[in-house]
Structure 1
Amino acid sequence: MKLIDLLQPEFIKYPLVTSSKIDVIKELLTLLAEHQRIRNPEEILAAILEREKVLSTGLGNGVAIPHCRSSAVHEFSLALGIHPRGVEFQSLDHKPSHIIFLLVGPETEAGFHLRLLSRISRIISKPEVRESIMASHSAPEIHRILQNQEAEFFEVAS
């Protein structure tokens, strides 16, 4: 499964309107709930926050990937939010996160969950991808950037 199969334009929030880590996570969970991708946003929020206690999902370079596996989730869902000013995610480089992916998956799918996280990390590790996303002005534009990058990455990788 490709990331782009999970991340349709309606699951991209540009711009995020809240300004705290917890509120941004809630905002992205609400987006997934509104599109019937998840049913128990409160339970999933608790699982994400528990995961954040172990180690922050702020990767640095303006990127965070809050995520969890939960028995409240029956299929993988992915949302993306863009915050022009940035949100404090306790990132490794101590800088705010502007590009925030939210990944939730079934508790029983650890291997696939890790593969999806790896795929996101590989694509977003390219500075030009991050710059293009931040220069974008709409969810469809961001979706096209990620779709092109994923296709390019897998064409080269195969």
Structure 2
Amino acid sequence: MKLIDTLNSNLIKYPLAADNKVDAIKELLALLADQGAIQDQETVLKAVLERESIMTTGIGDGVAIPHCKTAEATRFVIALGIHPGGIDFDSLDKKPAHLIFLLVGPDNEPGMHIRLLSRISRIISKAPVRDRILACSKAEEVYQLINEEENNAFEVKTP
């Protein structure tokens, strides 16, 4: 499964209005609910915050990947919030998060959950990619950039 299978331009929020971690997660959950990707925002919020209490999902370099597995999800879905000023996400490097990828998935597919987290991490591990995302002015541009980067990162090379 590709990130693009779980994300579309309607699930990209730029700019995020939130000024803290919990409100950012709520804003992204509202986006998922508005698009019909989740039903019960409160249950999913509880699951995301439970996971967040175990260890921060602010991975550093201006990126956070809050996530959860829940019976509320029938499929994997990602919402991306972009906050130019950054939000304190208790990141490992103590820097604010500008790119917040919220991953919600069914609780019966842990392997796919890990693979999607890995794909996000791999794509955004390069500073130029993060900078290009932050330089985008429209959700569709961000979507196309992520699609391009995912194809480049996971392209099968044939001799």
TM-score normalised by structure 1 residue count: 0.97
CA-CA distance at 1:7 after TM superposition: 0.9
Identity of aligned residues (%): 54
Alignment partner, residue 65 of structure 1: 65
| Structure having the larger proportion of residues in helix | 1
Alignment partner, residue 38 of structure 2: 38
Q: Is 1:28 aligned to 2:28, yes or no?
A: yes
Alignment partner, residue 131 of structure 1: 131
Q: Quickly say closer, same or farther: Cα 1:157–1:34, change in 2 above 3 A.
A: farther
What RMSD, in angstroms, separates the aligned Cα atoms of the two structures? Answer: 1.0
CA-CA distance at 1:116 after TM superposition: 0.3
For residues 46 and 63 of structure 2, what CA distance do their matches in structure 1 show? Answer: 21
CA-CA distance at 1:5 after TM superposition: 1.6
Runs of 4+ in 1 over 4 A off after TM superposition: none
Gaps of 5+ in 1: none
Q: Deviations over 1:56-99 (max 9, x none)?
A: 00000000000000111111111000001100000010000000
Aligned length, in residue pairs: 158
Gaps of 5+ in 2: none
Alignment partner, residue 79 of structure 1: 79
Equivalent residues in 2 for 1:4-153 (5 A)? Answer: 4-153=4-153
TM-score normalised by structure 2 residue count: 0.97
